[in-house]
Amino acid sequence: MSPLPCVPSAQSGKQARGLHVITWGCQMNVYDSARMTDVLRPLGYRAVDAPDDADMIILNTCHIRDRAAEKVFSELGRLRLVKEARAQAGHGTVLAVAGCVAQAEGREILARAPYVDIVLGPQTYHRLPEMVARAARAAGAVIETDFPVEQKFDFLPPEREVPAGGAAFLTIQEGCDKFCSFCVVPYTRGAEASRPVAAVLEEARRLVAHGVKEITLLGQNVNAYHGEGPDGAIWGLARLMAELADGIGVERIRYTTSHPRDMDGDLIAAHGDQPALMPFLHLPVQSGSDRVLAAMNRGHTAQEYRDLVMRLRAARPDLALSSDFIVGHPGETEDDFEQTMQLIRDVGFAQAYSFKYSPRPGTPASGAGGQVPEEVKDARLQKLQALLREQQDAFNAATVGQRVSVLFTGRGRKPGQVSGKSPYLQAVHVDGPDSLIGQVAEVDIVKLYTNSLGGVLTGETGKA
C-alpha cells in the first residue's frame, strides 16, 4: 500500500490537505459529499478541483443506475494511477469509497481494489476523521458499513459550508421501509428515520443567515417525514415546511423524493396554502399498469395516482409534475407498457426520469421470472422517452411570454450572462451582472432553447 498522509490535528491546523470528492447519484449524495467535506475540515482538509492535487479522494457512489458497481471499479482503476503517481512523488493519498455501492459491495471493493484505504456506508460518514486516523495508524484498509445505533446527524459539525448561489440541500429523512421489488435503498440506506424538528430548523436558520433563499428538503421518502417537534409532538412534512417559511423565513421550498403513499391531506393542502412552496413536485409512479405496480410492491394503483394528481392540481392549479418510470420490469407485457404510456398522456409531465429495469442483487425482482429481453426494453424506453420529451418541450414552450421569478445560482455559459431556476425548476438564462447571483428577480421569458429558457430582466427583485 502506498504511504498515507499524516493526519493533521484538529487543533493545530498548520498543514492544509487537499480533498477531492467525486459525487455520483442523487441530491442526497450531493448533500452527503458536502457534509463529509465539513467533517474533514477540522483535520485541515480543503477542497481541490483535481484528484492529482488531493491528499484524500472520496468516491461517493450510487447503486441505482445500471452496472453501478462496475462503473465504480472502472473509476477506481483510474484513481489507482493517480495514487501511484503521487506516491512516486512522495505524497500519500487516502482513497475512500462511500455511498450505496460501498454499503452493498464493501468486501468486494477491498478484494478487487486492495489499494482502497477506506470503505464507508451512507450512515457512517460522521466517523470519517476516526477512519482516517485508523487507516494512518494501521496502514491497512478500514471498512465501516454497519447501520450504527446513533444518528449520524447528531455527530456532524453544526457549521457547514454554504454553497454559493442562494440554493441549498437539507436532508431531513433517510432510509426506506417500502421495499419496492426493484430497489436497493432499504438495504443500503436502512429503515426510515427522520431528523428532529429542532435540528432541521437550526440548520435552516444558519443557511438563511448566510443568504440562502431556496432550500430543497431531501429524503428517500421525504414526505414520510415524522420528526419529533420541540413540543414533543410528531411533525409531518407540511407542518415542518410551514415553520421553515413562516418562522425561519425560507423564501423558496422544495422537497424530493416523494412516494404517493405518503402524500397526506395536509401536504396536499400545503401546495395551495404555502406561497414559499414551489409549484413543482417530483412524484414517482414507475408504471401505469396495476399488474406491474403490484409486482413492484408500490402499494398504489394507477387510478389512485391519477386521483392524487387531481387533488394536488385542485389545490395548486399551476403545479408542474415530474416522475420516475421504469420500463421492462420482470413480467411487463406490451399491454402493461401501453398502460404506462396512457398514464403519461392522461397526467402530463413537465420533466421525468426514465430507465430500463436492471437487476439489483438481493432485490426480489432480480430473481423473478419473465425477465424482459434487452432489445424490447430498449424499444420501449425510446418510445416512452419520446412522449415524455414531447410533453416537456410543450411545457417549456408554454412558458415563453410569461413572467416568472428566477433564483439566479451562477454564471451562464456566455460572458455577461447569469443563470438560475424558475419556480418550475427550468433553467433560465439572462444577460445580467454577477451581483444577481444568489438573488431572486422577475424575468420575462422570451425564448425557448433545447434544455433551457432565455429571458429578459424586468428590473424587479425580491421574493419568489
Question: Backbone phi, then psi, for 69, in 5-degree steps?
Answer: -65, -45
Q: What is the pLDDT of residue 159?
A: 59
Answer whether residue 424 shows pLDDT above 60.
yes
Exposure string of 166-181, with b = 16+ CB inside 10 Å and e = fewer, is bbbbbbbbbbbebebb
- How far apart are the C-alpha atoms of 280 and 39, rounded to whole Å? 32
CB 213 within 8 A of CB 440: yes
For the ranges 41-55, 95-109, 256-270, 314-328, the lowest mean pLDDT is seen at 95-109
- The answer on pLDDT for 17 being more than 60 is yes
Name 194's bridge partners.
Answer: 173
Q: Which residues of 211-225 are buried (b: 16+ CB within 10 A; e: fewer)?
A: ebbbbbbbbbbbbbb
Lowest mean pLDDT among 125-134, 140-149, 337-346, 347-356: 140-149
Confidence label for 347 from pLDDT (cuts 50, 70 and 90): very high
The answer to whether the CB of 341 falls within 8 A of the CB of 383 is yes
Higher-pLDDT residue of 204 and 145 is 204
Between CA 454 and CA 210 the distance in angstroms is 29
User: What would the pLDDT profile of 105-115 be if each residue is shown by its tens digit?
Assistant: 888 888 899 99
pTM score of the predicted model: 0.78
Report the share of the chain in percent with pLDDT over 90: 66
Residues 6 or more apart whose Cβ sits within 8 Å of residue 68: 61, 62, 100, 101
Tens of pLDDT, residues 30-52: 888 888 888 888 888 999 999 99
The mean predicted confidence, pLDDT, of the chain is: 89
Q: With helix as H, strand as E and coil as C, how does 326-358 read? A: EECCCCCCHHHHHHHHHHHHHHCCCEEEEEECC
> What confidence category does residue 12 fall into, taking pLDDT thresholds of 50, 70 and 90?
very low
pLDDT value for 176: 87
**How far is it, in rounded angstroms, from Cα 75 to Cα 20?**
14
CB-CB contact of 101 with 110 (8 Å): no
Amino acid at 233: A
Q: How confident is the model at residue 234 (pLDDT cuts 50, 70, 90)?
A: very high
